[in-house]
């Protein structure tokens, strides 16, 4: 089990993971985790225990900040000895899937506290992430500025370039874009593909841009598949895969990836994006009651995400609940006053042209202006 977890964590490019031979020297010993951190030269220590009572097994784990001693993440798993291998796979997936976003959020906090003179390109990238998660016009402007600053420090820092491409692409969907954003986003994403073949996070961002802005669905699918091959337990990678598959007219596959993302990281900052993707996928399947339910959940989780507003509107129109659809459309236009049907036709990210037409038609029926 420990070896599987070490292997899984080692697939995250931004992690420096101690080899099994070093970490196993602490097996069965009562140790001070701060001392372990100092001896191994690491910031975080993952420890756990396995207890057995009859045919039942209980596995517990905790991630500790080795400097402050604070718990970053804890969880417990239970199962039957007869299913030990299935339980082992479940624990590995859950631990690796949860530890990555937990450490990322902790590192974001650390980056915010650093004095300006000690800021690195990676620190600027970390500072940009919560501004992206804010899903606000001001936040997106900050992401542009911070990723540009990171690239001025390190022009070869592909994570910053990938996030910069993604934020430009998403800005179009949110109606916060600049005139050349679609073209620039596509160019930056293709540069990332050439420069970051082994960085799953960069590839995830690039894949979504290639699908949405460049509309090269085959390339986007190949790119997101490579991202998940490099890090199969990345919640945000599966969220990205969900959207790439949705844009590529594969809604059932998309739904599987969105659910996997939420299972790996139930309180992920991108959860609202995944929920919205499930709703959009059900629209494509013409399962409108389910689309509405998921769209409403997405709006509750992330109220400023434009896609979720549109999911709710189309579902209500298709369910012939026109008064509610018109109310939902007014909320959309209050949040995004420059959004129009013309813009939606221009940015149409869907491989399925029939769905794209139904989508625009439903928005028009609700009262979204031409």
Domains of the chain with bracketed CATH: 2-113 (3.40.50), 135-366 (1.25.40.10)
Instruction: Name the burial class of residue 81, with classes exposed (0-12), middle (13-18) and buried (19+) by CB atoms within 10 angstroms of its CB.
Output: exposed
pLDDT at 368: 96
What pLDDT sits at residue 224? Answer: 98
Determine the pLDDT at residue 11: 66
The pLDDT value given to residue 107: 66
pLDDT at residue number 193: 95
Residue 40: how many other CB atoms lie within 10 Å: 17
The list of the chain residues with pLDDT below 70 reads 1-4, 6-8, 10-30, 81, 84-85, 88, 102-119
Task: Provide the pLDDT for residue 84.
Answer: 65
Supply the pLDDT for residue 267.
79
Report pTM.
Answer: 0.78
């Amino acid at each position: 089990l420990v070896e599987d977890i070490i292997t899984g964590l080692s697939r995250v490019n931004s992690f420096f993971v101690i080899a099994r031979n070093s970490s196993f020297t602490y097996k069965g010993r009562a140790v001070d985790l701060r001392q372990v951190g100092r001896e191994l030269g690491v910031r975080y220590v993952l420890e756990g225990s396995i207890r057995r009572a009859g045919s039942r097994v209980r596995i517990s784990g905790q991630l500790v900040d080795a400097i402050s001693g604070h718990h970053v993440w804890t969880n417990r798993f239970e199962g039957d000895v007869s299913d030990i291998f299935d339980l082992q796979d479940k624990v590995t997936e859950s631990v690796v899937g949860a530890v990555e976003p937990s450490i990322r959020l902790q590192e974001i906090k650390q980056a915010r506290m650093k004095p300006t003179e000690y800021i690195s390109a990676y620190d600027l990238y970390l500072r940009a992430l919560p501004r992206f998660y804010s899903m606000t016009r001001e936040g997106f402007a900050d992401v542009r500025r911070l990723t540009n600053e990171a690239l001025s420090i390190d022009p070869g820092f592909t994570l910053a370039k990938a996030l910069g491409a993604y934020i430009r692409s998403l800005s179009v969907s949110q109606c916060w874009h600049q005139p050349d954003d679609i073209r620039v986003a596509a160019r930056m994403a293709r540069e990332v593909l050439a420069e970051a073949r082994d960085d799953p996070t960069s590839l995830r961002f690039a894949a979504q841009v290639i699908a949405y802005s460049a509309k090269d669905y085959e390339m986007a699918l190949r790119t997101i598949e490579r991202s998940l091959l490099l890090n199969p337990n990345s919640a945000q990678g599966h969220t990205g895969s969900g959207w790439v598959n949705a844009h590529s007219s594969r809604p059932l596959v998309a739904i599987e990836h969105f659910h996997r993302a939420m299972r790996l990281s139930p309180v992920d900052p991108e959860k609202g994006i995944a929920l919205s993707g499930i709703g959009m996928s059900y629209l494509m399947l013409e399962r409108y009651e389910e689309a509405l339910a998921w769209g409403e959940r997405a709006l509750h989780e992330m109220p400023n995400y434009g896609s979720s507003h549109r999911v709710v509107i189309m579902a209500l129109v298709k369910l012939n609940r026109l008064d509610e659809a018109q109310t939902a459309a007014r909320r959309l236009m209050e949040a995004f006053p420059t959004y129009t049907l013309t813009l939606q036709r221009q940015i149409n990210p869907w491989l399925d042209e029939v769905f794209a037409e139904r989508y625009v038609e439903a928005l028009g029926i609700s009262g979204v202006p031409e």
